[in-house]
Amino acid sequence: MEKYIVLDIARSHVSYAIVTEDLDFLEKGRINTDYHEKKDLFDPMIELIRRYKDEVNGVSITMPGVIDRETGFAYSGGMYNWVRNMDYAGEVSKRVDLPVVICNDAKAACMAELGYGNLKGIRNGLMVMILNTGIGGAVVADGKLLNGEHFAAGEFSYMRGDYKERDGVNDMFALANNLDGLSRCIEEESGKKNMNAMRIFAKLQMGDEAVLAGVRKYCDMLATYIYNMQCIVDSRRVVIGGSIADEKMIIDLIREAVDRKFDNFSYQNIFKPEIMECCFHSNARMYGAVYNYREVMKNRKAKESE
């Protein structure tokens, strides 16, 4: 059975795990790193991989940035501003003498759903990840993750949603429906300030009507964007990810809002997708890393045999 070392690179640390192709986690850990210069990250990371060199078949990395997951080339790297048009996977591979693949971290979370979770077996689907600062996600087209021309397909943050405010920035999906957007809706409806996700869930559980009205307002906006994505993609299922997807009640409220939108809209040629929560939470990116590794290797083998 194949084994991989998967690494999830974040701002101040790298989480890693040794995972089998059957998704069993044999070992898990994290090392602290810095991000200012290449060696701050590369030196400790390379040392870590070398420690497991004889145990694993390959390396799969997830990180922020615009990345060509087929070739391992990184166009940019989020806060790692030294990552600019570099053969990232190639450089790591040379130093550890193992096959290395990389992909964007949000896309990895989507690939976990596509490979092993709630998008498995779905030919046309969408993943919408509600994040602190924006909306991430992915499009599954004909059973495959859609890369787009510049690996930016599924960057839903940039969608525009409302005609009235089109000149401002408020009608951008990122700002309307990120977690701040949720707090804003609740403040508008209930007057309660600085509500974080935990406190919102608690209030919902207690049956706070004003908070519920705020969440409904937020879900109605979210449903508009889901409807608009559906005009373009025509998917069977939309999977909701991000920390708010942990709360079943929110998923139910999103589903109700999507029902309201699709059932009452006068244009009836767009099909209502099924709304589901994501399957994987804390380890999503690592599962996705396994899927990405296996897919990329499969594609490379297919190309070689051609």
Identity of the residue, 48 or 135, whose beta carbon is nearer to another protein in the bound complex: 135
Work out which of 266, 302, 305, 306 binds another protein, going by CB under 8 A: 266
Whole-angstrom Cα distance, residue 117 to residue 138?
14
Contact between 22 and another protein by CB under 8 A: the answer reads no
Shortest Å distance, C-beta 228 to another protein: 5
Whole-angstrom Cα distance, residue 61 to residue 73?
12
Bridge partner list, 16: 7, 29
The footprint of another protein on this chain (CB under 8 A) covers a number of residues equal to 52
Work out which of 264, 282, 302, 303 binds another protein, going by CB under 8 A: 264
Residues 198-227 that bind another protein (CB under 8 A): 220-221, 224, 227
Bridge partner list, 86: 74
* Residues 276 and 161: beta-carbon distance below 8 Å: no
- Region from 82-90, 112-120, 245-253, 258-266 binding another protein, contact rule CB under 8 A: 258-266
C-beta atoms surrounding 66 within 10 Å: 17
Contact between 71 and another protein by CB under 8 A: the answer reads no
- Region from 9-17, 43-51, 79-87, 228-236 binding another protein, contact rule CB under 8 A: 228-236
Work out which of 235, 244, 278, 289 binds another protein, going by CB under 8 A: 235
Contacts with another protein by CB under 8 A lie at 65-66, 75-76, 123-124, 139, 141-142, 146-164, 166-167, 169, 173, 220-221, 224, 227-229, 231-236, 261, 264-267, 269-271
